[in-house]
Structure 1
Amino acid sequence: MNPGPLRPRTRSFSPPSRPFFGSTRAMAEPGEQLPEEVLALIFRHLSLRDRAAAARVCRAWAAAVTCSVVWHDTTISCDCEQEGTLLPYLSACLDHVHNLRLEFEPSKKPSRRAATELLTALAARTPGLRSLLLECRGEKPLFDAGRDILDAVHALCRAACALRHLDLRRLPFTLDDALVLQAARGCPELRSLFLNNCTLVGSVRPDSVLELLEACPRLRALGLHLASLSGTALQVLAAPDRAPFALLALRCACPEDARAPRLPEEAWAAVRRRHPGLAVELELEPALPAESVTRVLQPAVPVAALRLSLSGDTVGPVCFAALHYGATLRALEVRAAASAELDAALELLAARCAGLREVHCFCVAMAIAF
């Protein structure tokens, strides 16, 4: 049976009386579909640019993205934001920032300018800032001492009287006494201060550290270059009325560190008795000569983390740590040439340090030309 020629079949279609995904009002106001506290938990994980975009969606999202929960812990990268847009967007939210991690690249002028302007604005607007961590990315520009950044930090320490944590370890600039003294006088609630940064010159005098300890009785963690620490400071830490002290991070890398006098064993012993939970982190860099290493590594120091990147003997310090830091050492980092002697020293360390949790070895590969 011949069915005849095929003909196209047509079907009329009329749009639905209402949208598939709810009402037009629900589509225009998506913030009404979730509580503000849920939106805030989502928005706190967005970048500044995405937060700005979310704020333009609707009134509900704008209210959620500017609430204090979103801004309490904030990371800002000055390299990721368009020049000139950072401060205008942040102006309404600066009062809500309590813990700030600020990343910038000092060799790039726009990034550096944005970081300086933000720190200056914080100094003028945010007395409630609790924690500040500055992190430099990229390379430090030549012939630059970072004066603009340090001046902004100085102003912030003068204004943020509630500041409790200040971390400057990732700044490549030379830190000076003026900054430390301003932190001591302007931030009496400090709990931690880290000045043990990668600089070629150590300019913080022991007298400034002493004033810091006396002005900030609740300080629990302190990072310094070795030359900035004195026996008198250890005596202050060992005072009977001193609040519990938890961490002392010492970096030995500058010429001033190499010339630093040996700290009294009895002072270290007194600090250990007063603060039995004290952990000391030691970082020894290539600029430290062998005779200085023997002054730094003292049996009475409760070393919990030891980082060795020496140009001379490394086996000796590892053996010393195995013999004297068996009860306290938790982490070891070694940068040295591979050798049987180093292997034996590491085996001794592992056998004697029962609390050792991690060992990182970076062995230099020697290229030999034939």
Structure 2
Amino acid sequence: MAESREQLPQEVLALIFRYLPLRDRAAAAGVCRAWAAAATCSTVWRDTNVSCDSEWEGMLPPYLSACLDHIHNLSLEFEPWRKPSRWAATKLLTALAGRAQGLRGLRLECRGEKPLFDAGSDVLDAVHAVCRAAPALRHLDLRRLPFTLDDALVLQTARGCPELRSLFLDNCTLVGSVGPDSVLELLAACRSLRILGLHLASLSRAALEALAAPDRAPFVLLALRCACPEDARAPALPDEAWAALRRRHPGLGVELELEPALSADTVRRILQPSVPVAALRLNLSGDTIGPMHFAAHHYAASLRTLEVRAAASAELDQALEKLAARCAGLREVHCFCVVRPAVLGAFLAHCPRLRSYTLKLTREPHPWRPTLVA
């Protein structure tokens, strides 16, 4: 195609191209030399989302390969049960590992179901390779990987990514294989870490004390998933250690996700009064009312998000009303069972900062969508 004499500046073209899907970026790069230069510049590729489900096959690898040096933040989605999608994801990560000096953020998300007995070794090997080659990596989010994460990955991240600011390892898996010692080494190596997501069994009193050290950067979020058998057997973390951590980092928020594998005794060990719980997600097979009363009494000042999955009952409604009356700072509340109108009225009356809620007064088809507060 002949070059046009009237051409938008490359900076303007790049701003347009950055909002295009990858397939359209590739098409734009083939129009002319000016468009090709704009479509492959760093402005377009700094923050990149790649879906290996629909955008890759047969077209993207050569084009994307030329732009890997410009990617600073990559969000990668794929379906592990589809071989082409999985192959594309591992190929991209492997290629990125060879040119990851400028990578700042990596988020991986699996969609659909993974094959049975799938350890994800190919995907995890590629993540290892990226962490070895990305010394400037600051954000790593593996919450949506359904594979068992282990000590080797944590240690590789600690040794290869000293500038890390956030790390999420609190994924959905049946086995928790990240030990407390690996987390301690991570905290020692990554002094600027501000956000950490873990399974409860990976956390220890020594880790809380390390986070409370006077020379650490401000720590703002600790996300704890409590779902594996290892989490149920984890020793209690003493309230005084939480209190010391809270004094050191007054802006700290803790997210607690409690799943059916936990017994009532385990839940009582986890819910320490000094934990600054900002988000509480209850999906318990046993007592839900007790944890809600505990939250209303101890977490009234810090609680911002509540999510409850339980059977409808008058006792649950009463607990929700009590919590609404005490937790005025709530921004979100989502209850996945039918509640009586008084519950909705209590949250609307007592929680002036409420932004969205899922409080259904009658049965509706799933999925239930939250209601936004005007």
Give the TM-score taking structure 2 as reference length: 0.89
Q: Which of these residues, 220, 242, 248, is aligned with residue 246 of structure 1? A: 220
Aligned equivalent of 2:172, options 175, 198, 203: 198
Identity of aligned pairs, percent?
Answer: 81
Name 1:321's counterpart in structure 2: 295
Q: Give how far 1:35 is off.
A: 1.8
Q: What amino acid is the match of 1:52?
A: A
Q: Does 1:312 align with 2:286?
A: yes
Letter in 1 for 2:213: A
Helix, strand or coil for the counterpart of 1:337?
A: coil
Residue matched to 1:52: 26
Give the alignment partner of residue 52 of structure 2, picking from 58, 72, 78: 78
**Whole-Å separation in 2 of the counterparts to 1:30 and 1:48:** 24
Cα deviation for residue 81 of structure 1 reads: 2.4
Name the structure 2 match of 1:229: 203
Cα contact 1:32–1:60 (8 A) shared by 2: no
Matches of 2:210 and 2:13, distance apart in 1: 48
- Displacement, 1:82? 4.2
Q: Which residue of 154, 159, 164 corresponds with 1:185? A: 159
Check the 8 A contact 1:193/1:222 in 2, yes or no: yes
Equivalent of 1:115, from 85, 89, 112? 89
Q: Which moved more, 1:331-340 or 1:33-42?
A: 33-42
Deviation at 1:286, TM superposition (A): 1.1
2:190 aligned with 1:216, yes or no?
yes
Instruction: Give the alignment partner of residue 334 of structure 2, picking from 348, 360, 363.
Output: 360
Alignment check: 8 A CA contact 1:31 1:60 kept: no
CA distance in 2, matches of 1:82, 1:297: 46
Distance (whole Å) between structure 1 residues aligned to residue 206 and residue 70 of structure 2: 40
Change in CA separation of 1:84 and 1:293 when aligned onto 2, cut-off 3 Å: same
TM-superposed CA distance for 1:87, in Å, is: 2.1
Q: What do residues 188-234 of structure 1 show as CA deviations (whole Å, max 9, x unaligned)?
A: 00000000000000000000000000000000000000000000000
Classify the secondary structure of the residue corresponding to 1:269: helix
Aligned to 2:325: 351
- For residue 273 of structure 2, give the secondary structure of its aligned residue in structure 1: coil
Q: Answer whether contact 1:174 1:201 (CA < 8 A) is retained.
A: yes
1:256 aligned onto 2:230? yes
Gaps of 5+ in 2: 339-362, 364-374
Structure 2 Cα separation of the partners of residues 315 and 45 of structure 1 = 47
Conserved in 2, the CA contact under 8 Å of 1:31 and 1:61?
A: no
One-letter identity of the residue aligned with 1:51: R
Structure 1 residue 91: deviation in Å? 1.4
Choose 188-197 or 31-40, whichever is displaced more.
31-40
- SS of residue paired to 2:98: helix
Instruction: Name the amino acid aligned to 2:212.
Output: A
**8 Å Cα contact 2:289-2:315 kept in structure 1:** yes
Larger-gyration structure (1/2): 1
Equivalenced residues, count: 340
Cα separation, 2, equivalents of 1:319 and 1:113: 48
1:31 and 1:357 map into 2 onto residues whose CA distance is 54
User: Is 1:340 aligned to 2:314, yes or no?
Assistant: yes
Distance 1:102 1:32 in 2: 37
Whether the 8 Å contact between 2:26 and 2:60 is mirrored in structure 1 is: no
Query: What's the secondary structure of 2:309's corresponding residue?
Result: strand
Which residue is 2:61 aligned to?
87
Structure 1 position 356, deviation (Å): 1.0
Does the CA-based 8 Å contact 1:86-1:114 persist in structure 2? no
Deviations 1:81-122 (A, max 9, x none): 243433211111000000000000000011001100110111
1:30 and 1:184 mapped to 2: Cα distance? Answer: 51
Alignment-mate amino acid for residue 93 of structure 1: C
**2:257 is the alignment partner of 1:283:** yes
What SS is found at the alignment partner of 1:102? strand
C-alpha RMSD of matched pairs (Å): 1.5
Give the match for residue 7 of structure 2. 33
Report Cα offsets for 1:120-154 as digits up to 9, x if no partner: 11111121100000000111111210000000000
**2:125 pairs with 1:157:** no
Find the aligned partners of 2:212 and 2:167 in 1 and give their Cα distance. Answer: 18
CA contact (8 A) 1:31 1:58 kept: no
Cα separation, 2, equivalents of 1:31 and 1:360: 57
For structure 1, which segment, 284-293 or 71-80, has the greater mean C-alpha deviation from structure 2 after superposition? 284-293
Structure 1 window deviating more from structure 2 (210-219 vs 117-126): it is 117-126
